[in-house]
Structure 1
Amino acid sequence: MADMSDRLSFSSLQSKWGWFALLGVLLIVCGLIALANVALATVVSVYYVGILMLIGGIVYLVHAFQVRTWGQVLVWALSGVLYILAGFFAFENPLLASAVLTLFLAVALLIAGVFRTWVGWRMRPVRGWGWVLASGIITALAGVVIATGWPVNSLWILGLFLACDLLVQGWSMLAFGLAVRR
């Protein structure tokens, strides 16, 4: 029975291969546009984060008044106000916000890289442990490189990451669509 549903599921995917390919092409075009102007792509990224923070802040405020005790209402409401203020900050000064986000990105990459390196090293007896170790080292080095160039690189690093992500997602959707077509 599962085999039959798998075939039906694959058949429905196969009939939509063109949509996957079209999505891939659109993402590639967006990635190339972002790559052509990484500073603008950085500002767009900051605005996107700002919108998400505003929405999150409103949700926190609505949630705050659903909580019963006064102490909890205060904590949730304060969280909501801080999110909303951060969202407004992103719109008010996107270049400074990009510097803050770039520094957070550098720290996050460094921490994730060190952790992944440690995990890879601990996996030594397991086959393929070197890939995990190498991945951790590369991630940590990316964090160090970003931190070393900060704050100057904050004008373009987020836009570059956005452009690369759009290009990779675009190529993967295009490849998936073409593979499903066969």
Structure 2
Amino acid sequence: MTISMDAAAELYRQAMREGVRRFSLLYLAQAGLLVLAGFLSIISPIFSAEAVIGAIGWLLVASGLLQGIGLIPARHTPYVWLQLISAVLALLIGFLILRNPGQSLLAFGLLIVVFFMIEGLSKVVWALTIRPILGWLWVLLSGVLGVVLSIILIISLETTAPWLIAIFVGLQLIAIGAAIGYLAWSIRQVAAQSKPIG
């Protein structure tokens, strides 16, 4: 039996809604921790440049772990690999930064550019695959922000200070956390409203 593309897309969206609804508390906790990590990244420039680079490395590792843990119960939802890319990328870039926190600013900036670009593109693709689920637009905007930040960094890489990169990383983590949180909260609210009374 074959089904149309529209029917297949609707089945996917329904599975996605159900997966996010079932694990909405975990998604909300993950979102809150990502937003917190983003704020920590934004305030980290009060330290020395090397301390900022180390802090960003640790924050990326923590965000990758948070995203990965959030995917464990949702591992059977469709297109979970799009979110897995974000988790693995954050861990990989974080470990590369921590392996050599005294690396040149150019090498550090290039790692962050790669993080922003791939993270942004994966969020854009994920948002377009879950559209029109309530909250998809916020996921899309967080992805677009990542791509825009990567382009800004590429253009000004040789003159960008570590504190500005820390602020960019903070903004991206806050955007991702807020988007995931809004998506989970919206789906949770819709599910609560559609429950039969009695």
Q: TM-score range by the shorter chain?
A: 0.3 to 0.5
Task: From the two aligned structures, give the one with the greater helix fraction.
Answer: 1
Q: Which has the larger radius of gyration?
A: 1
Task: Give me the TM-score of the superposition, normalised by structure 1.
Answer: 0.45
